[in-house]
Structure 1
């Protein structure tokens, strides 16, 4: 078993939670993948206004970084493995550049899902957590909450659906001299079924109904990676706005440039727990969204007709 020093941590390359590591085995993204959104693009200001950056401090004073999303003025959603066995968190909000956030909030209020075993940490099925913020964060052009997948669509098969995943990290592998990116990056991925995902991870007991898996969209290098954990996987919903259908959790020990899919936790499975922790209801009905979209389209059509009525009649005198 080899011991590797990587990004300030020592890892045993050979076993994760007692299971042999192979190219087809799930691996803790923060330990075993290169740190970046791979083969993606830099985000523009306000493009992904729910994205946050979370810096975590452990008992020994070590610091590492994850992603997360604003879901309310005082709440952020992230991955459980990002906050497990860590005690202080610095959340940067309203940013595409890490050096210029609109808000910086320090908090120690973490809530890990009860089925996730914190002392073990690492790759687990219910890899989801909430951070309570110590101040009220107002919304604006660069800060907006992300709508969570609702409970009625929690088990939808997203095979072939185009996703967007975003986060921060290295611009290239460490061995190639890559440096940490200050700019938020994003990339498209394509959904695959859990049955297909299990063909890539045949010995995994982690891929369950709470899991979404996604592969590259049109370039096998496209993926989420270390530093992206806890960040949002979104779709464009019927109203043209993003809905978070996954929280970045794990990928393959083969590396993020490999064609192996990455895995995400479906927030639609956890609405009862969200309500218990926050006192807020993040669930919603798909029919309400469709009705709202229909109403907006009708209003737009009426506005368009009114604009046409108000326009002066233009006559082409050459056609008499």
Structure 2
């Protein structure tokens, strides 16, 4: 799923599903409008590192699943990914390219990510870190993208949502991409009335 921000004056968004190239007409892709966007009540846009960087979108219409539009599952409540779990995220690398991008990141455990030489106390337990190798990371424009991990049975789970990265630049060594840990918000997701 790709969410496009269309206009800052009217706060218009479009949700694109089954879409991989913004410049091309693609059979089976669907554009939908949000009916409602619910942002976590503790979210503070002036302090991203305080956490709660999560929102849910209700679409104005039902979207049928197809070979191009599939579901990704939610992970079990409070589940924590093991260190070095390989996951993918969709990225834009600053400027929005026409083709949807993705990158492979290895999960960094909380004990490592919260070391002073890494993120220190900036990273919280309701976050997950991935990358930090100085080669691959999320970057400007990637916020809100998913950290998807594939299970042994081939199904996918959305374990994270791109939240922030280093102000020193993208792909910075020992500054992994930081994601909102979806499993930490299982109760909130179930309580939200869409």
TM over 0.5: yes
Structure ID, larger Rg: 1
Cα deviations across residues 61-105 of structure 1 (Å, max 9, x unaligned)?
Answer: 6xxxxxxxxxxxxxxxxxxxxxxxxx3211111111013361112
Measure, in 1, the Cα distance between the counterparts of 2:6 and 2:48: 15
Change (3 A) 1:209 1:166: same
Matched, 1:116 2:43: yes
Partner residue in 1 for 2:73? 147
Measure the CA separation in 1 of the matches of 2:126 and 2:121. Answer: 17
Counterpart among 92, 95, 98 of residue 16 in structure 2: 92
Structure 2, unpaired ranges of 5+? none
Is the contact between residue 135 and residue 171 of structure 2 (CA under 8 Å) also seen in structure 1? yes
Candidates 236, 254, 271, aligned match of 2:186: 271
Q: Does 1:130 align with 2:56?
A: yes
Counterpart in the other structure of 1:58 = 8
- 1:1-320, aligned counterparts within 5 Å? 51-55=1-5, 57-59=7-9, 87-99=11-23, 100=25, 102-107=29-34, 109-117=36-44, 120=46, 122-153=48-79, 156-170=80-94, 180-199=96-115, 200-204=118-122, 207-216=123-132, 220-259=134-173, 260-278=175-193
The CA distance in 1 between the partners of 2:121 and 2:77, in whole Å, is: 28
Cα separation, 2, equivalents of 1:114 and 1:96 = 32
Deviation string 1:27-65 (CA, Å, 9 cap, x unpaired) is xxxxxxxxxxxxxxxxxxxxxxxx323325333x6xxxx
In the alignment, the residues of structure 1 paired with residue 40 and residue 131 of structure 2 have an alpha-carbon distance, to the nearest angstrom, of: 26
Paired residues, number = 188
Q: Which has the higher contact order (CA 8 A, sep 6+)?
A: 1
Structure showing the higher helix proportion among its residues: 1
Q: Deviations over 1:244-264 (max 9, x none)?
A: 111111111111132221100
In the alignment, is the contact (CA less than 8 A) between 2:110 and 2:128 conserved in 1? yes
8 A contact 2:92–2:139 mirrored in 1: no
- Does the 8 A contact of 1:92 with 1:98 survive in 2? no
- Return the alpha-carbon distance in structure 1 between the equivalents of residues 78 and 97 of structure 2: 37
Q: Are 2:86 and 2:105, in contact at CA under 8 Å, matched by a contact in 1?
A: yes
CA drift at 1:157 = 4.5
In 2, Cα distance between the equivalents of 1:58 and 1:122?
Answer: 20
Cα separation, 2, equivalents of 1:187 and 1:261: 13
Structure 1 residues 232, 135: CA separation in 2 closer, same or farther (over 3 Å shift)? same
Deviation at 1:202, TM superposition (A): 2.5
Relative to structure 1, the CA distance from residue 91 to residue 169 in structure 2 (aligned partners, 3 Å threshold; closer, same or farther) is: farther
How many angstroms apart in 2 are the aligned matches of 1:197 and 1:269? 17
